[in-house]
Structures are given as structure tokens and as C-alpha cells.
Amino acid sequence: MDDNAGVVGKEVTRLWRAWRTVHEMVQDRGYILAEEEVKISLDSFRLQYCKDNGEPNREKMTFSASPSEDMMKKYAIEPTAANPNPKVDVGTIYVEFVPDTGSIGVQQMKKFVTFCNEHSHKSGIMVTNSAISAQARRIINGARDYAYIEVFLEEDLLVNITRHELVPKHILLSREEKAALLKRYHLKETQLPRILSKDPIARYLGLKRGNVVKIIRDSETAGRYASYRLCV
């Protein structure tokens, strides 16, 4: 009995760490979250998201968040004569912790994508303890026109990599900032150094192909300096 309690306790602590990281990730992307949600203590997490027997209740751990005004401005598309009413490509995000039922298959992914679509969530994050099948991944790719779906393993969220002292600050540029950068240095975007969309930092920030990030590093001689990378 004590061994089982120990196993459950470790699982709860692991989920709590993943919960905090995914909240920090959503907040860092520009969504609005209350600080008490982001910085929830382990004791509070147990009270809110565990069953009477102490086991975690992943079904209660779903949440959504709306984009801040700054985020909306960053993703805003300037109207043009050809496109006077551009489609807004940012909106609410929905996060779901999936119960551990084995590999994530087509039906489970379809259900998640349908929920995001029916509730007008522009983005969805599925946090799972299991691998995702190739067929389910194709469902994600097919949903890109109306929802940007991401899948993270719980184990990849146990530590927030952006909080490590050796990881420099990454800042997503708005469309206007990207255009100004290219104009200032007389560059085409393909001439910028690259960051892969599967890079852990790119995944943390939710970068899409064509996005440019500003990377701020400390230097003993120059103080701080910035470089830029194009997401591919």
C-alpha cells in the first residue's frame, strides 16, 4: 500500500511540474492567465486536480486562455486593397491533459480537433504520456486551416527549458518588425540563419514556418547583442 502511494505521489508531482510548464509556455506566448494558475503550489494542485484516492484526475486539468492585446497586435495582418478584411490567425488556445490509455490514435485526435473547431479555438495543445500514431499526426496536418494543433509528452514538460541560465531570451517578431528587419539590412528572409520548427525553443514558443525570432545573448565584451533566426 505504501509502495502504491509512493508511485501515485511521484505521478502527481510529475504532472504538477508539467502543468506549471505548460501554463508558463502559454503565458510566454502571450495568452492571459492568472498568476495563481501559473504558479500553483503542489498542495493546491493536489486539492484541485486529484481524486479522493490521491490519483491525478487529468480530465479536470483542461483549460483555455485568450490572447492578450499585445499578442493580437503582434499577429495582426494589415488590410490591403486586395485583402481589406484579413482573417485573424490568432484566438483562444485550449489545453487538454489526456488520460494514459496507450498510443494516441485517429479517433482520439479527431475528437480533440473537432472540439477545438466547434469551440472556435485557434490553437490546441494535447499533453499526453503516450506516443502519437502516424495516422493521428496526419489528422493534425489536415486541421491546419482552422486550428493549429500541437502534442507534447508530459516528460518533455517536466522542466521549462527557457528558464535555464544557458538558454538566451527568444522573442517572436511581429510581421511589421520582421519586415523592418529585412528592410534595414537589405535581406531576403531566406538569408537569415534558421531555427527548425521542431527545435525545443521553437516548439515552446509555438513558432510557425516563416516566423522570425530575436535572440538576445549576453557578451563579456559587448554587453548584450541580438541575432535573428527564421523558423523553417
The per-residue pLDDT for range 60-86, each reduced to its tens digit, is 999 999 999 989 888 877 777 777 777
| Of the residues 159, 177, 202, the one at which a domain ends | 159
Q: Could you tell me if 76 and 139 lie in one domain? A: yes
pLDDT at residue number 2: 56
CATH code, 111: 3.40.1340.10
Structurally, how many domains does the chain consist of? Answer: 2
Question: How far is Cα 160 from Cα 18, in angstroms, rounded to an integer?
Answer: 9
3-state secondary structure of 205: helix
CATH code, 186: 3.90.940.20
Decide: 128 and 151 in contact? Cβ < 8 Å. yes
Over residues 110-146, the pLDDT tens digits come to 999 999 999 999 999 999 988 888 999 999 988 888 8
Decide: 232 and 195 in contact? Cβ < 8 Å. yes
Q: Could you tell me if 150 and 222 lie in one domain? A: no
Provide mean pLDDT across the span 189-209.
95
pLDDT at residue number 1: 47
Provide mean pLDDT across the span 191-200.
96
pLDDT at residue number 79: 74
Q: Could you tell me if 48 and 110 lie in one domain? A: yes
| Of the residues 159, 188, 212, the one at which a domain ends | 159
Question: How far is Cα 16 from Cα 23, in angstroms, rounded to an integer?
Answer: 11
Give the residue numbers spanning the domain of 35.
2-159
